[in-house]
Structure 1
């Protein structure tokens, strides 16, 4: 029997500092998130970060928390229910960190008699800290707890035209009655070393402005290339002109170089350069979450206005958009 497991990032169980600390501990101790030797990672996370960051993060979560719970969880549950209504295969939901766990999602399908699971990581672009960590953990869990279960997955869908159409249409619809000067495509950042580690050729990724535009097998697992390609495809679909759009990367952590240009600096630079009306799209996420609602929708807006901008539009993610539901159901049924 076949079934489907939708997997998103995850969220703390509540905005209480203890729950945020537990969530951040699981997230940051992932060797594909902070890819340092275990003892160093343990020192950084438990010795430094978890002593300061949870309280600040809890305050940020409180700003965006809904009555029903975490926006990311609520939106993911809505998506799962809508997709289930469009297919005869059992569809379960899991989070890489927090609840419901991937183990719980696999067990739910196992208890329904599912032996063949199609996993759908809800990330358009491949990255070590997103798609890869989901697939690696699922594989470990399958071998240990569900040995008779077979796992397959849908690869990164950043360039699938049906996804580009859904994303492009959602942007067009949201901005249809708004006057804007420039659109910023802001993707979640990753350390530059992650790009090089994911390079299956071990020589292509130079992060020099040209490698992402030079055809290579490395692009199958290159987050940077896939982000720029997403922008390129949406720009083409929306018929945007040169100078109307820009690509940047957000949410950097630590002192090591991360993908640039940085979103916060870009937002300020735009305002200083005379951009008055800015729209920001976050195509690395399919569901609105802390990074889209608070970091972009609140912090980004404040930075833009303080630097001289007037109108700031945080374009919602595709969430449980009916067209997106139809696309997922189509991929599943095919």
Structure 2
């Protein structure tokens, strides 16, 4: 069998035009694993309310961070794919879960190159319904409909893989070298609390009570909250960070249901109100800089911090197309190609 890999990231609108943003948000928010309510309720919420109010505001946010080459997330993902493809023994294609290039086109690209065994590689360190799971479900639907002879293998969440931890920790260390900061905040993308409970394969372990994530359980294999805290713990251990000099928060909540806490914006505000002057922040749920990192954190977060008296706000870039990150992903793909499974 001929092998190949498909890197899959979240996606982006085709442009900053509100019409393109509306189309993108419609595809994204109508995903039943993103807004997991009955179809009629999701339709009412998304098409009846959100898509009539949010696209213009989101388009303005995208305009703040858009590059001449296009969407930062797409451009950075393309750079990553290109560099990996040059060092691997098998072809590597790129797709987005929402928007373009889509998963179908990525699989078609590999199929046209004679590939019939594909490594599906979600570019998310931590597992979540709204990220990894929705990619794998859609990819399997497309395989059955368009490429029934293809065989899929998927990369598991790599939140605790030593290669990932080392690369992430080194990126933080390099960016903060010589920077005088009082606290390092690990900001992860938020999810509704119900997603954590829905992903609990034991149906009993996840209580989001502050202790379940620290208690060993098979539920941790699919527990986003546990994986975020474990990533933080391992990086802090690697960097020898002192207790109380770092913490975890969650950003980008939507709607009125309870989401994972503490919230990033309120945490930044609280730090400033407590007299903190120098804050550093890293966003380990993302491997590529995007709207959530470049606008929500680097712009809105800094503005909040300054409004409450903070002075220095340092944002650590995502791994993007760093040389060491490219080498890690390339090695993982080749290990799979030569029948050496990538294990966390």
Supply the distance in 2 between the matched residues of 1:62 and 1:177 (Cα, whole angstroms): 32
Q: Which runs of 5+ in 2 are unaligned?
A: 336-344
For residues 257-292 of structure 1, the C-alpha deviation after alignment (integer angstroms, 9 at most, x for no partner) is 000000000000001111100001000000000000
1:323 aligns to what?
324
Q: Which residue of 1 aligns with 2:170?
A: 169
Which residue number corresponds to residue 107 of structure 2? 106
Distance in 2 (alpha carbons) for counterparts of 1:332 and 1:292: 27
Matching of residue 287 in structure 1 with residue 288 in structure 2: yes
Residue of structure 2 in register with 1:72 after alignment: 73
Q: Match for residue 131 of structure 2?
A: 130
Quote how far apart the aligned CAs of 1:213 are: 0.1
Matches within 5 A, 1:161-240: 161-240=162-241
Name the structure 1 match of 2:10: 9
Runs of 4 or more, structure 1, over 4 Å off, are none
Provide Cα deviations, 1:204-244, integer angstroms capped at 9, x if missing partner. Answer: 00000000000000000000000000000000000000111
Alpha-carbon offset, residue 61 of structure 1: 0.1
Kindly state the Cα deviation for residue 177 of structure 1 after the two structures are TM-superposed.
2.0
SS in 1 for 2:171: helix
- State the distance in 2 between where 1:192 and 1:243 align: 25
Please state how far the C-alpha of 1:201 moved relative to its aligned partner: 0.2
TM-score where L is the length of structure 1: 1.00
Q: Please give the alpha-carbon distance, in whole angstroms, between the structure 2 residues aligned to 1:255 and 1:117.
A: 39
What is the rounded CA distance, in whole Å, between the counterparts of 1:128 and 1:333 in structure 2? Answer: 27
1:273 alignment counterpart = 274
Cα separation, 2, equivalents of 1:41 and 1:227: 27
Stretches of structure 1 that go unaligned for 5 or more consecutive residues are none
Aligned residues: 334
- Residue 117 of structure 1 corresponds to 118
TM-score, scaled to structure 2: 0.97
1:311 CA displacement? 0.2
Q: For residues 246 and 272 of structure 1, what CA distance do their matches in structure 2 show?
A: 17
In 2, distance between residues paired with 1:319 and 1:203?
37
Number of the residue aligned with 2:85: 84
Question: How far apart, in 1, do the equivalents of 2:89 and 2:216 lie?
Answer: 39
The answer for the alignment partner of 1:256 in structure 2 is 257
Equivalent position SS for 2:175: helix
